[in-house]
Amino acid sequence: MEKVIRIGTRDSQLALWQAHQVNDLLTAQGYRTELVPIKSEGDIDLVTPLYEIGVQGIFTKSLDLALLNKRIDIAVHSFKDVPTQLPQQIVHAAILKRGPVKDLLVYKTNTDFLEQPGYIAHIATSSVRRKAQWLRKYPQHRLHNLRGNVNTRLQKLAAENWDGAIFAAAGLERINVRPATSIYLDWMLPAPAQGAVVAVCREDDQFCLDACAAFNDADTALTTQIEREFLRTLMGGCTTPISAYAYIQDHTVHFSGELCSLDGSQFFSTSHEVSLDQAQQLGQRAAEEIMAQGGAEIVAQIRNAK
């Protein structure tokens, strides 16, 4: 009997969109597939801020368990949600071609408040990275926690007396819910691997590894590897304001990385341009620069505060 590849996914609209991308790529090669929606801890607890939960992989753990228990054959994740250390016996099977990487601000009425130094705006996000970068630029503003899937967060923004909320552009644009009242935050450096989708499977499942190899995007795999290496070397997770972005142009890798204190008052950054053949360990080298500049003290402070 022909094997059916069971694709595990969270059951949010965005997660299902991502899973359908993998599903379509597999069926185009002639594989039989089945989607298996699974609730994650991050979807169930929508009240506690992510940095208080403090668990790496909160959006991936339930799918990883289902994979190891052989309830599913492949798990599909937003790559930025995946811990830099995968569980034993689980490996990356394919990283899809990257989508939009930027963050954007969805505002309630207009963006005039961004040009008013004395105005205390109320901005919502549960990302410590977005909070820190926002406070670095607008230290007088008040930040509010905002949890839930994309649609839940948009509804919450509409209901609250906030000036705006910060989202990943990919999340809104992929499911066609980006409001007209939104602008790209070109100055905000994204999370490592933001905008990328990854499929993982068991390392001993050669059938699924072969099936996914055909749609692994080499450029996205390299650039996200550099970003995640930067994150891993800084020993950061969802509780540390770490940003990184790498892209390839004219056979050159362009990389920018940042580390902020939680309140945005301290900030370290680095940027590099290297040829493709010098890209190995670029993320690690960049992170070591940040640590040497004084970033190690910020990481230690955040760790001790936890």
Which runs of consecutive H residues, i.e. helices, occur in the chain?
A: 13-27, 41-44, 50-53, 61-68, 128-137, 150-159, 169-174, 206-213, 218-233, 282-290, 296-305
Report how far residue 197's alpha carbon sits from residue 95's, in angstroms, rounded to the nearest whole number: 6
The conformation of residue 292, written as its DSSP 8-state character, comes to I
Q: Per-residue pLDDT for 173 more than 80? A: yes
Model confidence pLDDT, tens digit, residues 193-240: 999 999 999 999 999 999 999 999 999 999 999 999 999 999 866 688
Mean per-residue pLDDT for 174-180?
Answer: 97
Q: What's the confidence (pLDDT) of residue 304?
A: 83
At 57, the pLDDT band (50, 70, 90 cuts) reads low
Q: What's the confidence (pLDDT) of residue 66?
A: 92
Average pLDDT taken over every residue of the chain: 92
pTM here?
Answer: 0.91
Mean per-residue pLDDT for 168-172?
Answer: 96
Report how far residue 225's alpha carbon sits from residue 223's, in angstroms, rounded to the nearest whole number: 5
Model confidence pLDDT, tens digit, residues 28-56: 999 999 999 997 654 444 444 444 433 35
Catalytic residue among 43, 81, 103, 205: 81
219 counts as catalytic: no
**Neighbour count for residue 199 (Cβ, 10 Å):** 27
Q: Per-residue pLDDT for 111 more than 70? A: yes
Q: Please state, for a pLDDT cut of 70, what percent of the chain lies above it.
A: 92
Report how far residue 272's alpha carbon sits from residue 254's, in angstroms, rounded to the nearest whole number: 6
Q: Nearest 10 degrees: CA dihedral of 175, 176, 181, 183?
A: 70
Q: Are strands 4-9 and 74-78 parallel, antiparallel or unpaired?
A: parallel
Mean per-residue pLDDT for 268-285?
Answer: 96
Report how far residue 49's alpha carbon sits from residue 46's, in angstroms, rounded to the nearest whole number: 8
Model confidence pLDDT, tens digit, residues 113-143: 999 999 999 999 989 999 999 999 999 999 9
Model confidence pLDDT, tens digit, residues 58-85: 668 889 999 999 999 999 999 998 999 8
Q: Per-residue pLDDT for 158 more than 60? A: yes
Residues 7/34, Cβ–Cβ less than 8 Å: yes
Report how far residue 234's alpha carbon sits from residue 282's, in angstroms, rounded to the nearest whole number: 13
Of 1-10, 178-187, 286-295, the poorest mean pLDDT is in: 1-10
Q: What's the confidence (pLDDT) of residue 44?
A: 43
Residues 148/175, Cβ–Cβ less than 8 Å: no
